[in-house]
Structure 1
Amino acid sequence: MITCVNNALFNGIRDWSKGMELTGRELYRKYLRFANKSNLLQSSLKWFDNVGLFDGVRKGEYTVKLQEFIHNTGLKQSYVSAMVQSLLVSRILDIGCYGEVDFPEEYADDLIDVINECEIAPELENVVDVMYACARIGSEGYTPEQRSLVWRAIILDEALEVVKTTIERSEGVVRKILDINCSHGDLTMRLAEEFPAKIVHGCDISTSNIQHCNTKSYDTQNVTFFTVPSFTELSPNWSKTYDVVTLLQAVPHDNTNTKEIILEAARIVQDDGHIIYIEPEVDDNPRDNKFPESAYDHAVSYWYRIPSGDSDVSESDYQVDNTENFLRDCGLRVEGHHLIHCSIRNHAFVCVKD
């Protein structure tokens, strides 16, 4: 059972878990069955195993002694809290009425069997190394370069899959694609490579980002990058030009707000085109997302729990209805909603003009 020393940690977890719709042992079994199909999930479970989270259940102890685990591993309390949260989502862990955090005894053997088969994927080994270094007590967080590494390894593939599926369902209609806030062009370049017959554009307000993109795309014929003065001041000539517009975590960098960016995206997309809005959950009201730097950190680090640079980022429960209502206010209708990498923090909304 969690002791009073650990009450603050437990209270944060308990408050976070209120109202979760993910319940039942069916989800638990589904999660375990999915593990052998996901390098990300296998790597995450193996990482938890390597730091000793499952040692107790291997010995027949089904209550997690969190404070003891923190002491033995030297991991930050905030990291352990988030680690437990990620396992509560799938009900691999449960919170009892007296505050204990337990592995369901009847499924312990299933869990250990799955974990014994898990390996850290080679392409994620560097991410795990970064995660372990940054999760230790006394570490100072992680650098922008490390953050970029994590983003590319964890979020990019699943974001790409959402966009690919949308394009493939509209095959024969999609001709031009625009990636707003393209940054270093990771998603833009992947789309150009996946769809060589399409015209793919990326835009960013950073001149250095666009220079980097142009260098990287030198040998790719179907992609072009543009510097724009603002995401709310795209070229007037772009009106109804694009069949698919992506907004990947495009919360504002300046004094504009998210709604203005989405309205501009709606202007430049064809009437029957799609806007794919992929956002980090920072505040439960999307109107209040004003892009503190830590918002990005918080979003890209959720699954692996690399600690955010700012501990004051909102931990409010995510309300999908808030974002759907917000997008509706922007003149869009949500056709599909997807969770990115089994997270409650990153969501993709496939939208059309209403």
Structure 2
Amino acid sequence: MSLVDAVISTGGSAVDDVVDRDSEKADEQAVEEFAGWVFDRFLGAMETLSIHIGSDFGLYDALRGAPATAAELAARTGIDRRYAREWLEQQATAGILDVDVERGGDGVGPGFRLPAAQAEVLTDRASLGYSAPLADMFAAVALRMPDLTDAYRSGRGIPWSAFGAAVRDAQGDINRPWFENVLAKALASVPRVHDVLSRPDAGIADVACGHGWSTIGLARAYPDAIVDGFDIDAPAIEAAHEHAAGLENVTFSELRGEQLADEGHDRYDAAFVFEALHDMPDPVAVLSSIRRAVRSDGVVVVMDEAVAETFSPPGDATERAMYGYSLLICLPDSMSTPDSVATGTVMRHATLERYAIEAGFSAVSILPIDGFAAFRFYLLER
């Protein structure tokens, strides 16, 4: 049908549509700026995958304190020499590596050096700045895009186990330095919590402990306590056992949070849920079980994402990151369970308080713990 025919058959509405579309034409500068914004994200994604290559093959570890040419890096790590040269050049172009021209004595190009700051961020697993696991997680999630596409169409989910060891390990590795280096000081700064944890033979439950670094951090901070870590992911519990080798006041078991009270009412002085409640399909049932398992004079603490109080776009970096996690990992994981409440990563204070009140708590208060990565600590009041 021609435009003239369309005008005749619609009483002129086709012309009106053309005029309306023309009047909505975007400002050229705004288009150019947003196109640049998209390109910056594309560039960041490509370079994130290049960091994953360096992390996965141990290339950064091989360069730490030992500059190398492409031939030397290939020999140290067992990767192909031509790929080694391309990766080294790309890393230098991205500003990650420095070029050491004087080391180019093997006839195939210069040497490359990993600066100290980059070395800490990409190789030091004890540093609070350690960030290589973010790239590893991004790469692992990218492999699940066909599954995510199916989930978005069908309304089904993708269970945590389906994301594989790479995501599980990355999650544990990125939180490890915070639990090992900062958790003890953070909890000690809150007398109401610290005093309970310092009781002789205090019983502490760490629900959804993952790789167990939070459980280990609690056990080391409070050596007179008995700390039990629980998770439903068998490989995570196995890893937790390995990480806690030699630590005598820790146990790990496979157990759902909803089953904690089945182990005994008033059994614990304290219970924690570190960055996991938003993933749970039935958080009210979990919190209800925790409330019954913890003594009335004990404490229940939930650490979750430090998102804004309300949905108020555009968001800050934390808000944006958490929505990214939610789209790609946490919401699909939660929706893999039938009848899930499907919270998603962005669990706001009001949502947590609603869950807590439905579980029998009276209120939720924010603990005065600041600067603990992108997390916030909540105390669930009796």
SS of aligned partner of 2:239: helix
**CA distance in 2: counterparts of 1:181 and 1:309, whole angstroms:** 21
CA deviation string 1:297-323 (max 9, x = no partner): x989949x9988729979998743333
| Alignment of 1:75 onto 2:44 | yes
Over 3 Å counting, the alpha-carbon distance change for 1:239 and 1:308 in structure 2 is closer
Q: Secondary structure at the match of 2:259?
A: coil
1:324-339 aligned within 5 A: 324-330=353-359, 331-337=361-367
Please report how far the alpha carbon of residue 227 of structure 1 lies from its aligned counterpart in structure 2 after TM superposition. 2.0
Q: Deviations over 1:307-350 (max 9, x none)?
A: 8872997999874333334323322432434576477x633202
CA distance in 2, matches of 1:133, 1:191: 27
The structure with more radius of gyration: 2
Is 1:224 aligned to residue 226 of structure 2? no
Distance (whole Å) between structure 2 residues aligned to residue 318 and residue 252 of structure 1: 6
SS of the residue 1:232 aligns to: helix
Contact in 1 for aligned 2:279/2:330 (Cα 8 Å): no
Deviation per residue, 1:211-250 (Å, 9 max, x gap) = 332333231111112222x221235342111111001122
The answer as to whether partners of 2:307 and 2:319 remain within 8 angstroms in 1 is: no
- Please show how residues 252-267 of structure 1 align to structure 2 within 5 Å: 256-267=281-292
Distance verdict in 2 for CA 1:309–1:265, change over 3 Å: same
Structure-2 change in CA distance of 1:121 and 1:152 (3 Å): farther
Question: Which is bigger in relative contact order (C-alpha 8 A, separation at least 6)?
Answer: 1
1:208 and 1:320 map into 2 onto residues whose CA distance is 31
Q: Does 1:211 align with 2:238?
A: yes
Displacement of 1:280: 3.5
1:275 and 2:245 equivalent?
Answer: no
Instruction: Say whether 1:243 aligns with 2:269.
Output: yes
Q: Does 1:146 align with 2:170?
A: yes
| Greater mean deviation of Cα atoms: 211-220 or 152-161 | 152-161
Instruction: Tell whether the 8 Å contact from 1:247 to 1:276 is kept in structure 2 after alignment.
Output: yes
Separation in 1, partners of 2:364, 2:267: 21
Match of 1:310 in 2: 328
Question: What amino acid does structure 1 have at the position aligned with 2:43?
Answer: G
3-state secondary structure, aligned to 2:257: coil
Q: 1-side partners of 2:40 and 2:303: how far apart?
A: 34
CA change 1:263–1:227 in 2 (3 A) is same
In 2: Cα distance, 1:240 partner to 1:70 partner: 53
Pair 1:352 & 2:378 matched:
no
Q: Give 1:1-354 correspondences, 5 Å limit.
A: 3-5=29-31, 67=37, 70=40, 74-76=43-45, 120=117, 123-126=120-123, 127-129=130-132, 143-144=166-167, 145-153=169-177, 157=181, 161-166=185-190, 167-170=193-196, 173=199, 175-228=202-255, 230-234=256-260, 236-251=262-277, 256-280=281-305, 302=321, 310=328, 319-330=348-359, 331-337=361-367, 341=371, 346-353=375-382
| TM-score scaled by length of structure 1 | 0.52
Question: What is the TM-score of this pair, normalised by structure 2?
Answer: 0.48
Structure 2 SS opposite 1:233: helix
Q: Secondary structure at the match of 2:381?
A: strand
Local SS of the residue matching 1:234: helix
Q: 1:328 to 1:201 in 2, by over 3 A?
A: same
> Structure 2 unaligned runs (5+)?
1-26, 49-115, 124-129, 145-162, 311-316, 332-342
Structure 2 counterpart of 1:290: none
SS in structure 2 of the partner of residue 321 of structure 1: helix
**Are 1:283 and 1:316, in contact at CA under 8 Å, matched by a contact in 2?**
no
Q: For 1:2 and 1:337, how far apart are their aligned partners in 2? A: 47
TM-superposed CA distance for 1:271, in Å, is 0.1
Equivalents in 2 of 1:312, 1:220: separation in Å? Answer: 31
Q: What is the CA distance between 1:183 and its match in structure 2?
A: 1.4
Q: Shift of the alpha carbon at 1:275?
A: 0.6
- In 1, the alpha carbon distance for the partners of 2:45 and 2:346 equals 22
Counterpart residue identity of residue 363, structure 2: R
On the 8 A contact 1:240/1:271 being kept in 2, the answer is: yes
Which one has the bigger helix percentage? 2
Residues 302, 234 of structure 1: CA spacing in aligned structure 2 closer, same or farther, 3 A cutoff?
same
Structure 1 unaligned residues grouped into runs of 5+ = 10-65, 80-118, 286-297
Q: Deviations along 1:147-168, whole A, 9 cap, x unmatched? A: 4322324577555544444442
Aligned residues: 238
Which amino acid in the other structure matches residue 190 of structure 1? G
Q: Secondary structure at the match of 1:74?
A: helix
Equivalent AA in structure 2 for residue 124 of structure 1: V
CA RMSD of aligned residues (A): 4.7
Q: How far 1:251 sits from its partner (Å)?
A: 3.0
Q: For residues 112-137 of structure 1, give each alpha carbon's deviation from its aligned partner in whole angstroms, at most 9, with x where no partner exists.
A: xxxxxxx848653334455578889x
Deviation digits for residues 161-192 of structure 1, max 9, x if unmatched? 44444442446547111101111111101111
- Indicate how the Cα distance of structure 1 residues 206 and 326 shifts in structure 2: closer, same or farther if over 3 A, else same: closer
Q: Is the 8 A contact 2:261 2:290 kept in 1?
A: no
**Is residue 198–residue 225 contact of structure 2 (8 Å, CA) maintained in 1?**
no
